[in-house]
Amino acid sequence: MKFCIFGGGSIGGLLAAGLKKIGVEVTVVARGAQMEAIQKDGLRIIKADGEHEICQLECTDDTNSLGEQDFLFLTIKSPALLPSLDKICPLVGKNTTVITCMNGIPHWYFHKIGNKFENSKIRSLDPNNIIDKVISPEKIVGAVVYPASTIVEPGIIRHISGNRFSLGEPSGLSTERLNYLSNNLKIAGFKAPMQKNIRDEIWLKLIGNLSFNPISALTGATLEEICNNEGTEKIVRKMMSEAKIIAEKLGARISISLDKRIDGARKVGAHKTSMLQDIEARKPIEIDSILFAVKELGELTEVNTPQIDTILSLISQKAQLLNCL
């Protein structure tokens, strides 16, 4: 079986190194300095306990040379998906399974959802159905990614915490490909539970991302600082509440209370969210999948989202001014 990790960043690197260790045929698609470093010296993983591990990986930016893959992990950020379709296309064949490892609402969300919203489209993610034409929803296995990691410098990744990749078919069924993926990731040292309703877990992570990420990017505050400030904590709670109502109207269930979700973020401590890090680095930020899409789903379900709308307007303007769209 041929595995490809499309996106050689911190999450893609962790996946590739883990799979390579167990003898899986895996290739990383990366670019620039990260690709050059991996090609020259391999990928170095700095584990949470300080131990270093070097993994020699096949790495390229030429997807035409790789051909169709059996399993394709998309470990890029959501703003990069549409611009990357030309490079993704050669990797996708009739029997390719595509695992979406991106934050927020995925383009396939309504595929086999099993209710009145079946096959609805999310215009803010795929306005012209371009993604669907390259990556048809039937090929998808959903994933929710929990590891915290960062690129220290090209070719070097620091794994801070977490090793869970929750997996699930859009239909909720237990399939042969889902079991195969889960088993391989477990052998590679990851937690890879198979979820009957992957959308529940998408929302559980999303209510944190859609609130903490833009507030941190607007204020420069860490998770701990946001949670311990009465004003920003109140905004977080309102945004989460709006999103929770939307999720429930769409048939999803968020299994923990908002208090517990906020307390969990507080315990992470002085951590900068990925959106704040991207703003500081002047990189594109993930607002389409975690904010615009949720606003659109609010309109679909007739749920008012005044707090989400306000924060979306503010972070959109900041991103535009800093050229981070």
Residue 46: strand pairing partners: 52, 158
Decide the pairing of beta strands 140-145 and 2-6.
unpaired
Residue 153: strand pairing partners: 156
Nearest Cα to 74, choosing from 152, 142, 175? 142
Q: Are 109 and 146 in contact (CB under 8 A)?
A: no
d(CA 65, CA 29): 11
H or E, element range at 53: strand 52-55
Decide the pairing of beta strands 25-29 and 58-60.
parallel
Nearest Cα to 264, choosing from 166, 161, 186? 161
The one-letter amino acid at 103: N
Q: Are 93 and 69 in contact (CB under 8 A)?
A: yes
Catalytic residue among 205, 249, 272, 318: 205
Active site residue 191: no
Rounded to 5 degrees, what angle do the CA atoms 283, 287, 292 make?
Answer: 155
Q: Rounded to the nearest 5°, which phi and psi values hold at 300?
A: -60, -40
Q: Are 204 and 302 in contact (CB under 8 A)?
A: no
How many C-beta neighbours within 10 Å does residue 40 have? Answer: 10
H or E, element range at 281: none
What positions carry a catalytic annotation? 205
